[in-house]
Amino acid sequence: MQIIQAKDELREQLREWRNADEHIALVPTMGNLHSGHASLVELARQHAERVIVSVYVNPTQFGEGEDFDEYPRTLERDTRRLKTVSADALFVPADDVIYPFGHDSATIVSVPGLTENFCGATRPGHFDGVTTVVARLFAMMQPDVAVFGQKDYQQQLVIRYMCQDLGLPIAIVTADTVRDDDGLAKSSRNQYLDDEQRRVAPRLYETLREAAESLRSGGRDYEAMEARAIRTLEAAGFDVDYFAIRRAEDLAVPDRDGDDLVVLAAATLGRARLIDNVLLTV
């Protein structure tokens, strides 16, 4: 597996693959790779002959007081892990490769609407940071395909919107969430949980599944179901950002049966902000 840091080197490698008529899939990450990321790489491999993984802890998507400084940076371990899956290259750009004029003078890519609620409301500016860095990676690499995890449901919707709106010919593929045996979604932030919090954390997914089950059994009083779920999570020790039942395609409030729905939540336990969701059709 090739490790690439410079833009020229990246361009050269991409050119070689394209000249050989090979499709390119990008898996953007912030490193600290776990089996969830490995599944993104495996899915990417099903869509393209070449898979490139980027590792960049993007400062512009962290708000003030968030965990940018302490975000786990584990490049050596990540490199070893990627060698065991089928990645062809690892792109590890320095700050000035991504933001040549610095973060404060960067061109911002901002998606309206979809970014206003949920994680966008509790983390103002977060999605601008995400779309700004992803647009830069897309511009640098022009991949045929890019793979994102379903755990960050709102993020993958925002990126799909950005690609459609900017006319980027990149297929966005969403990979199923990978979970521990007790249901907790894999996340780099799980390592902030102490033993007791780790024991409680799967309650988030359980509560999402309970809400999905009520919907499947005909429940339609969304507000009451959301309020009940929030009470359950608070009683378990979570500080809940949001728990919502929405239309899967655009996060609007569902208004008729037959829609694909997403039940999505974000809640903090100690220092760990956990997000998760369940998809269903009613």
39 binds ligand PAF (CB under 6 A): no
Between the CA atoms of 218, 221, 222 and 223, what dihedral angle is there, to the nearest 10 degrees? Answer: -160
Binding window for ligand PAF (CB under 6 A); candidates: 27-35, 162-170, 196-204, 242-250: 27-35
26 binds ligand PAF (CB under 6 A): no
Q: Write each residue from 77 to 116 as x if it is in contact with ligand PAF (CB under 6 A), else as -, in one continuous string.
A: ----------------------------------------
Q: Where are the beta strands (DSSP E) in the chain?
A: 2-4, 24-29, 50-55, 89-91, 145-149, 171-175, 239-247, 260-269, 272-281
29 binds ligand PAF (CB under 6 A): yes
- CA–CA separation, 143 vs 60, rounded Å? 22
- Touching ligand PAF, residues 117-146 (CB under 6 A): 130, 133-134
Q: What are the structure tokens assigned to 42, written together?
A: 């495996």
Residue 103 known to be catalytic: no
91 forms beta bridges with 4, 54
Binding window for ligand PAF (CB under 6 A); candidates: 11-19, 22-30, 92-100, 174-182: 22-30
The answer to whether the CB of 60 falls within 8 A of the CB of 126 is no
152 binds ligand PAF (CB under 6 A): yes
266 binds ligand PAF (CB under 6 A): no
Q: Which of 23, 34, 37, 103 is catalytic?
A: 37
DSSP string, 131-166: HHHHHHHHHHH--SEEEEETTSHHHHHHHHHHHHHH
Annotated catalytic sites, by residue?
37
Which residues contribute to the site for ligand PAF (CB under 6 A)? 28-30, 58, 61, 130, 133-134, 152, 155
